[in-house]
Structures are given as C-alpha cells and as structure tokens.
C-alpha cells in the first residue's frame, strides 16, 4: 500500500492545515509524532487563561515556600499595641502613612501585620487544600475504580456505603471527628477533609470505569491476556484523568474554604498557626470596628487560589484530551 | 513468518476447510441477567445466545449473519472468554476453552484473537501504536519467545505493521493520527502479532468506507493464507459474507437457524428467514426482478423468545402453510438435510413445493406476502 504522506508540523493552525489539504487533496496529512505529554503541553500552552491560572498558582506556592523567610511571624511575639488605634491601621497605600509600611494593614487590638499573617498562612492553607485533595482523590479513585471495574454485588455494596455516608451531615461529622483526632493541629484537619471528601469523586470515577470497561480497547487488552491490574492502570485510569483533575481542582478550593468555615466554628487549625481560614474568621468579631482589610486580604488570597487552580484545571482538562485538536 | 506453533496441522492456503474442526461449539448459552429496582432484583434473562451448536474447520472462513441483536457478537465474545458463558461447551482442538483458568487461559488467548468493528473504539487513544500492538506480546512473554525484551518486541511490532501494509515507523504514532482503514490494520496487526490460529472478526469492515472495505477483506484473506488462520467472520452485508465465507451460519434470536456451504446457501436457502434475508439483496443482473419478502412485525425480545419456533411470529412460510400448530409449540431441531446443510425448520422440505423457488429467489411471481405489509424491509 503505497501512501503519499506529507509531514506537517503540529504548529500549523487549523486554517493553514485546511489550505494545505485543499491544495494537495491526494495527500494524506500526518501530524508530527509527539508523545502524549508533549502534545498535552502544546495544548495547554495555547490556553491563555490556563497559563495565567498556572502562573498565579505557582506564584502563590512560591510565596508559601519562601515568603516566611522574608516576612517573619510568631504568634507569641506580641507587638506593642497603640491604644489609640484599636481597630488597627489601614494599609499604608490608603492612609498615606508609611511609618511603619503596612501593605495590608493591621489587625484590631493586637495590631499584627496582616501581610505576615497572609504570607505565613499560605503554607498551611495550600498544604491542607492540596494534601486533603490528594487523600480524597486516591481513596475516591480506588474505591470508585474497584466498584466500577468489577461491578456486580461488590459494586452494589460499595456504592450503598457511599450513598449512606453521603446522607450523613458531613460538617457535623468533621466536628465530631475533630474532637477525636485532636483538634487544632493541621495534619488532623487535612486528614479529616481528605477522609470525608472522596465520596462524590468515587461516584464519578465509578461511572467512568463502568463505561470505560465496556470499551473495545479494554476487550482487546483482555483478549491478548493483559491482567486486570494492568488494564486498570494502563487503559482505564489514563482515560479518567481529565475528569479527575477537574474534580481535584474544585476540591482544593473547596477544602481551603471548608477549613475557613470550620475555623469559624473553632475546630480548624489552632489560632497559634495562621491559615487564611482562621485569619479570616478571627477578623469577623472585629468587623464593626470598620477594619475591612483584616477580612479582605486573606479572603482575597483564597479567591486568587481558587481562581488560579480552576483556570489551571480547565486548561489541563482540555490539554489531556487526546482527541482535541492541537 | 508464522511461528513454530503456527499451524502444524494447518489447512493449507485456499483449501477451504479440510474438514478437521478447530473449534467445536455445543449448546452454547450466554444469558444476561436483567435487574430492576434499587435492590437489583433479578427480573429475567436476555437470552443473547441460546443453545448454539456448530463447528468451525481449520482454515475456513465461517461467516455469521443475522439481524442486529441476534447474538453474533455475544457468541464470539463468549468463545473468546470475554463474556461469561451460561452453559455449553466450546472446544479448541478438543479442550473446552470455557473451563480454562490462569495459565491455560492466558495460553489460549495467544491462539484465539479478535478483530473489532469500530476502528476508533478498539484502539486506546492514549497509547502509541507500539504499545497497542506490543502489549499482547508483553503479556504473553516467556523465555522462548523473548517478547519481554524491548528490542525483540519492537522488531516484531514493526514486522507486523509491515505485514498489514503499514510503515514500521508508524509504531511511534497515536491512533488519532490514522485514518479508519489504517486503524483497522493496526487492530489486525495487534491480533496477528500473537500468531493466533483462530480469529473472531466482528464486522471488521462495516464501519469503513466502501472503497476501503475490499482492501481490508483481501488483506484478511491474504493473511489467512500466509498464517494458516481460521476465521469466524460476522457481517451484516450478505455480499461481503458471500465473498469471504466458505460456510455460513444464519442466526435468529440467539439460535442458529441455518448452516451451509456458501454456494449452497445462496443457491438453495432452506429456512424462511434466510430466504427473506437473501430476497433483500439486489441481484447483480438487472433483468432479474426480485421480489422482496418483507418480514412483518418486530423482532421479538430475546428476553422472552416466542415458544416453539422462534421465528414463527414473523414467518411467511407458516402463514402460507395455514398456521400449522407445531410452529408455535415445538422448537424445530437443527437438523442435517444433506450436503452439510443444516436447518431449523419443520417445513424446510416443503419450500420447493409450497413456494416456487423462482418466486422466492426471484424471477416473477411473489409469494403472497402475508398481512399485505408495506415494502419496508425488516431484513437487513
Ligand atoms: N453486556 C450486555 N448486557 C446486557 N445485554 C446485552 C449485553 N450485550 C449484549 N446484550 C444483549 O444481547 C443481545 C445480543 O447482542 P449482540 O451484541 O450479541 O448482538 P449482535 O448480533 O452482535 O448485534 P449487532 O449486529 O447489532 O452487532 C441483544 O439483545 C443485546 O441487547
Ligand atoms: S418451523 Fe414453522 S415458523 Fe419456524 S421457520 Fe419453519 S415454518 Fe416458519
Ligand atoms: Mg455485534
């Protein structure tokens, strides 16, 4: 079978490609071969919003890692409050008072520098958000994957368990579990969110597995003698990656907000260690003083993280769809 | 190129089936449970394959036809252990493959392979061709064939790409970079790379462009000769079946209703269902005016097949014979009527008497089409 082919670099736009096909209709156009990750990167790069989101997220991670070396914070190191500014000073760029320079203003009463709180809070907030998500994705993917792949009564039992857990009031459970696991330290907060966050994801993964295991390429693998484990790892899981990533990005945002929420109820990370959540919620008692900046900046950090991660997830989903046009 | 275990006893090229059965199927049944409600209570079974017996001879192409949903795919998938059987026996050279486990099962997989209908769905979009074809080699690797070694494997992948008419260096590419015909060739190379003896080809050309179909059919026939293959070949298209098959089985609602060497079947069909199917094929000779036999009524559900003869709810012959009772009460046995021709109809012998062959296969007089149905053919 003689074939006339013309190699086309993947950098051609669809319009250029079409033009080429019009000019030489008897040629079969072959895209240059790239591996899956190269292709994914190409697609991701074209996605402006995703790039911006990734940059934003990476910037926040960088701040979380190196920020604390520059902006020192210690809970037990109490500044010398000025009785006259009980509500704390607003940001310098608003008040025009640059002595001391305050990028995000001060807290009420103790007059801590909010910049210090936000920068030092980034670590725990991101670690809890990402860590809990990893835990719940792993549990949810394995649980849902096993149920969906093997089906039958095993699937019924496993999914009934998920259904009944979903009917429980999760927040209440988190509060109760927090009591047992020792409230206040961040690993248990992360663990609790991770251990309760996988239910929805397991349903998603199950339904993906249920439909993917019926695919011909899975039958083909079985027909040549590939083991179940390898089929799951090499054939099914890679094809569930995109929806799992989307769910995971949503989960990171959800956990960061959720941590803020349980902090408000007094069961989040102990106030001696700042997180965006507990900084935000501790501001609420003092909001009448008019110091909006105390709530605004940690809240803004959460919003930026959520936006960054969500844009990034959007781009990842498109980039990982092999059938998408380059 | 065929391996050491390729076909020592193989029916040679061209000699269509030397009579030695390679696969023998006896009373094979595959039911799908129907579950309803939250409790997933068992409400019955879809009898997709319901007692099928026949044998496939070494070196032949056994064609399988029948309407959509009659159980052709399920039959093949059961045979290849991709679907749990409900009952029956399927022997590969004397050993029941339905009982194989573990090592035996994996070894059997090397000998029996499958080619799919859908050139898109049968290739994992996230794997390069080298892995798609090489994966089976890896799974079947042993010290003798050394398929576990990357170099040996890559060489074999390249060899088999060339064997199906593709370039070696396509191995690095991903499925979406290929046309439908090329993808189908990749699927064939995957099946072939294990050096099987038997291939279940499930409508391998139905999804392809008409211009490509004959290329692939001829490739399959070439490969049979070069590698001593035996095919179970499913198709909807009766011309394709006539072209490629040595013997043909006709399925209706989970059962075989007729089985015969191909020339005999097309010249002298003996089951009213087969006759209806054939009447829908346009004759190449434009002078011959064929009368289509239109099957009335819907195909009954395979969850509740009609009692007696499964075809009796739509059978034109039964109508012409004045509704004989046995059609609705006694399941006609699948019996030999001479010359390797088997048929499941109580009145197969009456066909020449009751309806002139001319009318059935088509010169002039149509058989009185029961129920005065409009000429929308239900036979595909
Ligand atoms: N996994 C399954 N679960 C339940 N029912 C099934 C399943 N697979 C097939 N069936 C049913 O079994 C019957 C036979 O299906 P099968 O796919 O074998 O038919 P087919 O002859 O291959 O049809 P087609 O020509 O459309 O490919 C159909 O009624 C179908 O709905
Ligand atoms: S047995 Fe009766 S119903 Fe069945 S095919 Fe023959 S004539 Fe028709
Ligand atoms: Mg089918």
Q: From the alpha carbon of B70, which atom of ligand 1 is closest?
A: 21
Mark yes or no for CB contact A33/B177 under 8 Å: yes
pLDDT at A161: 94
Find tokens 């209709």 and name the residue: A25
User: Ligand 1: distance of its center to the CA of B119 in Å?
Assistant: 19
Angle between helices B180-192 and B129-139 (to 10 degrees): 20
Which is higher by pLDDT, B85 or A20?
Answer: B85
**A79 in any annotated domain:** no
Mark yes or no for CB contact A239/B126 under 8 Å: yes
Distance CA A36, CA B94 (A): 45
Please say whether the dihedral angle defined by the alpha carbons of residues B62, B63, B69 and B70, taken in this order, is positive or negative: negative
Task: Provide the token pair at B177.
Answer: 């970079």
In the stretch 106-165 of chain A, residues with CB closer than 8 A to chain B read: 156
| List of E strands, chain A | 5-8, 28-31
**A108 in any annotated domain:** no
Confidence of residue A67 (pLDDT cuts 50, 70, 90): confident
Q: Is residue A306 predicted with pLDDT exceeding 60?
A: yes
**A276 in any annotated domain:** yes
Distance CA A98, CA A304 (A): 26
pLDDT at A322: 62
Which is higher by pLDDT, A319 or A235?
Answer: A235
Residues of B with Cβ-Cβ distance to A164 under 8 angstroms:
none
Distance CA B322, CA B335 (A): 23
Which is higher by pLDDT, A68 or B333?
Answer: B333
pLDDT at A22: 61
> What's the mean pLDDT in A251-256?
85
**A178 in any annotated domain:** yes
DSSP classification of residue B119: T
Helix (H, G, I), strand (E, B) or coil at B249: strand
Mark yes or no for CB contact B124/A216 under 8 Å: no
pLDDT at A258: 85
Query: What pTM, to 2 d.p., does this model score?
Result: 0.78
pLDDT at B351: 81
Distance CA A263, CA A43 (A): 39
Structural contact between residues A159 and A147, judged by C-beta atoms closer than 8 angstroms: yes
**A84 in any annotated domain:** no
Angle between helices A237-264 and A276-283 (to 10 degrees): 30
User: Ligand 3: distance of its center to the CA of A178 in Å?
Assistant: 55
User: Ligand 1: distance of its center to the CA of A245 in Å?
Assistant: 34
**A142 in any annotated domain:** yes
pLDDT at B380: 38
What CATH number does the domain containing A193 carry? 1.10.3720.10
The Cα-based distances of A310 to A124, A286, B234 in angstroms read 19, 31, 48
Structural domain for A292, as ranges: 37-72+114-319
Helix (H, G, I), strand (E, B) or coil at A42: helix
What's the complex ipTM?
Answer: 0.84
Please report, rounded to a whole number, the percentage of residues in chain A having pLDDT higher than 90: 25
Confidence of residue A13 (pLDDT cuts 50, 70, 90): low
Among B137, B168, B174, the residue to mutate for chain A (most A Cβ within 10 A): B174
Per-residue pLDDT of chain B (380 residues; tens, 9 = 90+): 444 443 333 333 444 446 789 999 999 999 999 988 777 788 899 999 999 999 999 999 999 999 999 999 999 999 999 999 999 999 999 999 999 999 999 999 999 999 999 999 999 988 889 999 999 999 999 998 999 998 899 999 999 999 999 998 889 888 988 999 999 999 999 999 999 999 999 999 999 988 889 999 999 999 999 999 999 999 988 989 999 999 999 999 999 999 999 999 998 899 999 999 988 877 666 666 667 787 878 889 999 999 999 999 999 899 888 889 999 999 999 999 988 999 999 999 888 755 544 444 443 334 444 433 333 334 43
Task: Indicate if ligand 2 lies below 6 Å from the C-beta of B327.
Answer: yes
A77-106 residue pLDDT tens: 777 777 676 777 778 787 777 777 777 777
Which is higher by pLDDT, A120 or B3?
Answer: A120
Backbone φ and ψ for B299, nearest 5 degrees, come out as -65, 130
CA dihedral B299, B305, B309, B311 (to 10 degrees): 0
Tell whether B126 is within 8 A of chain A (Cβ): yes
Residue-averaged pLDDT of chain A:
81
Query: By C-alpha distance, which of B287, B282, B248 is closest to B268?
Result: B248
Tell whether B176 is within 8 A of chain A (Cβ): yes
Angle between helices A170-181 and A237-264 (to 10 degrees): 80
Q: Pick left, alpha or beta for residue B195 (phi over 0 → left; psi -120 to 50 → alpha; otherwise beta).
A: left
Mark yes or no for CB contact B135/A30 under 8 Å: no
> What's the mean pLDDT in A126-143?
93
Structural contact between residues A182 and A265, judged by C-beta atoms closer than 8 angstroms: no
Q: How many domains does chain A have?
A: 1
> What's the mean pLDDT in A287-295?
80
> What's the mean pLDDT in A11-40?
58
Mark yes or no for CB contact B122/A235 under 8 Å: no
Instruction: Give me the long-range contacts of A52-55 (CB less than 8 A, separation at least 24).
Output: A52/A308, A52/A311, A53/A307, A53/A308, A53/A309, A53/A310, A53/A311, A53/A312, A53/A313, A53/A314, A53/A315, A54/A308, A54/A311, A54/A312, A54/A315, A55/A308
């Amino acid at each position: 079978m003689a074939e006339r082919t013309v190699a086309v670099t993947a950098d051609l736009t669809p319009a250029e490609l079409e033009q080429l096909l019009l000019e030489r209709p008897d040629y079969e156009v072959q895209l240059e071969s790239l591996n899956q990750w190269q292709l994914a990167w190409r697609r991701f790069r074209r996605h402006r919003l995703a790039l911006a989101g990734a940059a934003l997220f990476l910037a926040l991670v960088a701040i979380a890692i190196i920020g604390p070396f520059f902006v020192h914070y210690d809970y037990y190191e109490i500044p010398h409050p000025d009785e006259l500014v009980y509500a704390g000073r607003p940001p310098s760029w608003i008040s025009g008072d640059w002595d001391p320079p305050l990028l995000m203003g001060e807290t009420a009463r103790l007059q801590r520098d909010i910049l210090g709180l936000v920068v030092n809070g980034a670590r725990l907030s991101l670690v809890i958000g990402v860590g809990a998500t990893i835990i719940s994705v792993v549990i949810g993917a394995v649980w849902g994957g096993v149920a969906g792949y093997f089906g039958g009564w095993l699937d019924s039992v496993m999914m009934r368990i998920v259904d009944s857990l979903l009917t429980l009031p999760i927040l209440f459970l988190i509060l109760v579990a927090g009591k047992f696991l020792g409230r206040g330290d961040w690993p248990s907060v992360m663990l609790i969110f991770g251990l309760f966050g996988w239910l929805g994801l397991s349903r998603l993964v199950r339904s993906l597995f249920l439909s993917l295991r019926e695919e011909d390429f899975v039958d083909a693998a079985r027909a040549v003698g590939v083991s179940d484990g390898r089929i799951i790892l090499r054939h099914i899981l890679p094809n569930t990656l995109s929806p799992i990533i989307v769910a995971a990005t949503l989960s990171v945002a959800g956990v960061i907000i959720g941590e803020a929420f349980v902090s408000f109820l007094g069961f989040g990370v102990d106030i001696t260690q700042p997180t965006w959540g507990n900084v935000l919620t501790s501001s609420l008692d003092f909001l009448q003083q008019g110091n909006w900046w105390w709530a605004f900046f940690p809240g803004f950090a959460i919003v930026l993280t959520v936006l960054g991660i969500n844009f990034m997830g959007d781009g990842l989903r498109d980039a990982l769809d092999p059938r998408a046009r380059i | 190129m065929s391996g050491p275990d390729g076909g020592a006893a193989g029916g040679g090229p061209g000699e269509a089936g030397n009579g030695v059965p390679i696969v023998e199927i006896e009373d094979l049944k595959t039911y799908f449970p129907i579950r309803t409600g939250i409790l997933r209570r068992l409400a019955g079974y879809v009898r997709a394959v319901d007692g099928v017996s026949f044998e496939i001879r070494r070196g032949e192409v056994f064609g399988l036809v029948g309407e959509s949903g009659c159980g052709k795919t399920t039959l093949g998938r059961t045979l290849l252990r991709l679907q749990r059987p409900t009952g029956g026996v399927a022997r590969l050279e004397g050993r029941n493959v339905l009982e194989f486990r573990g090592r035996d099962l994996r070894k059997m997989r090397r000998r029996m392979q499958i080619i799919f209908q859908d050139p898109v769905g049968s290739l994992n979009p996230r794997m390069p061709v080298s892995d798609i074809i090489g994966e089976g080699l890896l799974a079947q690797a042993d010290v003798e064939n050394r398929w576990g070694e990357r170099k040996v494997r890559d060489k074999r992948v390249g060899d088999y790409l060339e064997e199906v008419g593709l370039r070696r260096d396509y191995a690095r590419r991903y499925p979406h970079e290929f046309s439908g015909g090329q993808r189908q060739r990749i699927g064939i190379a995957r099946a072939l790379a294990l050096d099987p003896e038997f291939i279940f080809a499930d409508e391998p050309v139905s999804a392809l462009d008409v211009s490509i179909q004959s290329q692939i059919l001829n490739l399959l026939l070439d490969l049979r000769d070069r590698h001593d293959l035996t095919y179970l070949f499913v198709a909807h298209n009766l011309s394709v079946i006539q072209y490629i098959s040595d013997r043909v089985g006709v399925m209706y609602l989970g059962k075989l209703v007729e089985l015969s060497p191909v020339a005999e079947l097309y010249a002298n069909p003996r089951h009213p269902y087969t006759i209806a199917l054939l009447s829908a094929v346009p004759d190449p000779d434009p002078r011959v005016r064929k009368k289509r036999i239109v099957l009335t009524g819907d195909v009954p559900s395979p969850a509740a097949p009609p009692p007696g003869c499964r075809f009796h709810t739509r059978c034109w012959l039964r109508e012409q014979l004045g509704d004989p009772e046995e059609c609705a009460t006694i399941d006609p046995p699948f019996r030999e009527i001479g010359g390797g021709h088997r048929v499941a109809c109580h009145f197969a012998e009456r066909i020449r008497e009751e309806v002139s062959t001319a009318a059935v296969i088509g010169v002039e007089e149509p058989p009185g089409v029961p129920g005065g149905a409009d000429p929308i053919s239900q036979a595909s």
